[in-house]
């Protein structure tokens, strides 16, 4: 629509411009063509140039409008209102400052100077107010509302397909608005349609999780955010969090590291699981199901609910049973934690 509108405007302007140029000089005496032919030729040339320039300018304006629309969608209503206040203040300041500029000669110079002052102050104050939105806008517009006071949290694909995510959200550990960018939803759909059984199962689990959470009021929302100039989903997540001041929720170790280097806050599900993992000390007792034999002749091996391996001395005879064991030592390795115990 914008392309067609700009083509029409510039085509019309080019036609009028061509007509005006054709009337400026005595073209028939210089070219040998009649005045009517010269006028028609210049109108065609002017309108053709206007049509071409209108297409180029219209496409560029379409890209810029979409980018602005995307950036606006990342702000909360209170923040947009705060930016509008800054815009109005800038226009008021520009009105008083630009008044003496009307004395400039010629008139077109005065007009351009006024436009420049209005544009500079309107953009500058609106931008300044938006940059300070976290310090001021929250205090002005979100008092007494902790859920909206929290910064938005953007869900990565790895978090959504994690089987623990739904339970974590429902438990209330993740407060504030949880937002799923459209490009993450597209990646989930791609996984769900994959020919690989494992990828397809993960993609469908992620979609099922979002469906279940969407039934909860004001918990998870999908936003139309995308960055066509950014090639990867991880890079888009980082750009989105940077532009909106939000945090990323993920289970991806590499994304976590890169985002933190870029100065973006990250909530990693694996780090949460590690933080709440039970800590066992020598002498602690627990009930364990012995699942298989160990490497040594008398050993049995079981697993805690978080996947931690427990090696039980003299536990081979209890395979397939639940027994009470006492922790004798804990070994922390690069691959994880291993507990050694003995049957009580």
CA dist 35 and 222 (Å) reads 62
CA dist 190 and 174 (Å) reads 26
Residues 295 and 306 in one domain: yes
pLDDT at residue 217 in the model? 67
Question: Looking at the domain assignment, is residue 109 inside a domain?
Answer: yes
Residues 155 and 268 in one domain: yes
User: Dihedral sign, CA of 310, 314, 318, 322?
Assistant: negative
Contacts of residues 269-274 at CB distance under 8 Å and 24 or more positions apart, as own/partner, are: 269/159, 269/162, 269/164, 269/165, 269/168, 272/168, 272/173, 273/164, 273/306
Residues 254 and 318 in one domain: no
Residues 252 and 162 in one domain: yes
| CA nearest to 184, candidates 208, 203, 211 | 203
Question: Looking at the domain assignment, is residue 120 inside a domain?
Answer: yes
**Last residue of a domain, which of 275, 303, 318?**
275
pLDDT at residue 340 in the model? 94
CA dist 104 and 88 (Å) reads 25
Domain hosting 323: range is 285-343
Residues 187 and 259 in one domain: yes
Tokens for 95, please give them: 């009105």
* Stated length of the chain: 344
- Measured CA angle at 48 (ends 21, 15), to 5 deg: 40
Contacts of residues 118-126 at CB distance under 8 Å and 24 or more positions apart, as own/partner, are: 118/91, 118/94, 120/94, 121/90, 121/91, 121/93, 121/94, 121/97, 122/87, 122/90, 122/91, 122/94, 123/90, 124/90, 125/86, 125/87, 125/89, 125/90, 125/93, 126/83, 126/84, 126/86, 126/87, 126/90
Element (DSSP H or E) covering residue 292: strand 285-293
- Collect all residues with Cβ–Cβ distance below 8 Å to 40 and sequence separation of at least 6: none
Residues 202 and 259 in one domain: yes
Residue 33 DSSP code: S
pTM: 0.49
Residues 66 and 86 in one domain: no
Measured between its terminal Cα atoms, the distance across the chain in Å is 78
pLDDT at residue 31 in the model? 67
Residues 194 and 112 in one domain: no
Question: Looking at the domain assignment, is residue 254 inside a domain?
Answer: yes
Question: Looking at the domain assignment, is residue 280 inside a domain?
Answer: no
User: Is residue 311 a contact partner of residue 297, using CB atoms and an 8 Å limit?
Assistant: no
Number of domains present in the structure of the chain: 4
Residues 233 and 186 in one domain: yes
**Last residue of a domain, which of 111, 146, 181?**
146
**Last residue of a domain, which of 275, 300, 320?**
275
Strands 309-313 vs 153-155: parallel, antiparallel or unpaired: unpaired
Question: Looking at the domain assignment, is residue 32 inside a domain?
Answer: yes
Tokens for 186, please give them: 């597209």
Please give the order of strands across the beta sheet that includes 178-181. Answer: 220-223, 178-181, 153-155, 247-250, 266-268
User: Is residue 187 a contact partner of residue 236, using CB atoms and an 8 Å limit?
Assistant: no
Question: Looking at the domain assignment, is residue 326 inside a domain?
Answer: yes
Buried b (16+ CB within 10 A) or exposed e, 137-152: bbeebbeeeeeeebbb
pLDDT in tens, the chain (344 residues): 778 888 888 888 888 888 887 777 676 666 667 777 878 888 898 889 988 888 888 888 888 777 777 766 666 676 678 778 888 998 898 888 887 877 777 777 788 888 888 888 888 888 777 766 555 545 554 444 444 446 788 999 999 998 888 888 888 888 777 888 888 999 999 999 989 888 898 899 999 988 888 877 667 888 887 787 888 899 999 988 888 888 999 999 999 999 999 899 999 988 888 787 778 889 999 999 999 998 888 899 999 877 788 999 988 888 989 999 999 998 876 556 889 999 98
DSSP states along 314-340 = T-GGGTTSEEEEEEEEEEEETTEEEEE
Question: Looking at the domain assignment, is residue 9 inside a domain?
Answer: yes
Q: How many other C-beta atoms are found inside a 10 Å radius of the C-beta of residue 48?
A: 14
Question: Looking at the domain assignment, is residue 18 inside a domain?
Answer: yes
CA-to-CA separations, 234 to 96, 164, 330, in angstroms, rounded: 47, 21, 36
CA dist 326 and 312 (Å) reads 9
């Amino acid at each position: 629509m914008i392309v067609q509108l700009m083509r029409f405007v510039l085509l019309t302007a080019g036609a009028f411009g061509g007509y005006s140029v054709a009337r400026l000089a005595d073209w028939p005496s210089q070219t040998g063509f009649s005045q009517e032919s010269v006028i028609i030729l210049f109108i065609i040339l002017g309108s053709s140039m206007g049509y071409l320039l209108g297409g180029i300018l219209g496409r560029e304006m379409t890209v810029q409008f979409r980018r602005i629309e995307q950036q606006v969608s990342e702000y909360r209503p209170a923040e947009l209102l705060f930016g509008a206040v800054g815009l109005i203040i800038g226009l008021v300041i520009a009105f008083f400052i630009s008044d003496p500029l009307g004395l400039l000669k010629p008139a077109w110079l005065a007009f351009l100077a006024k436009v420049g002052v209005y544009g500079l102050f309107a953009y500058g104050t609106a931008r300044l107010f938006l940059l300070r939105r976290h310090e001021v806008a929250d205090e002005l517009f979100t008092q007494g509302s902790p859920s909206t006071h929290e910064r938005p949290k953007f869900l990565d694909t790895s978090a959504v397909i994690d089987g623990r995510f739904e339970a974590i959200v429902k438990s209330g550990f993740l407060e504030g608005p949880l937002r799923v960018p459209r490009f993450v939803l597209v990646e989930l759909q791609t996984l769900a349609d994959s020919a690989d059984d494992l990828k397809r199962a993960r993609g469908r689990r992620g979609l099922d999780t979002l469906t279940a959470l969407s039934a909860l009021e004001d918990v998870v929302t999908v936003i139309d955010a995308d960055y066509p100039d950014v090639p990867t989903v991880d890079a888009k997540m980082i750009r989105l969090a940077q532009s909106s001041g939000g945090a990323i929720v993920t289970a991806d170790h590499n994304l976590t590291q890169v985002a933190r280097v870029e100065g973006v806050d990250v909530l990693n599900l694996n780090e949460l699981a590690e933080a709440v993992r039970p800590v066992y000390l020598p002498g602690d007792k627990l009930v364990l199901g012995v699942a298989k034999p160990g490497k040594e002749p008398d050993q049995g091996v079981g697993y805690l609910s978080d996947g931690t391996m427990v090696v039980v001395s003299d536990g081979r005879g209890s395979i397939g049973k639940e027994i009470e064991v006492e922790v004798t030592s804990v070994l922390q390795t690069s691959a994880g934690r291993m507990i050694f115990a003995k049957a009580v």
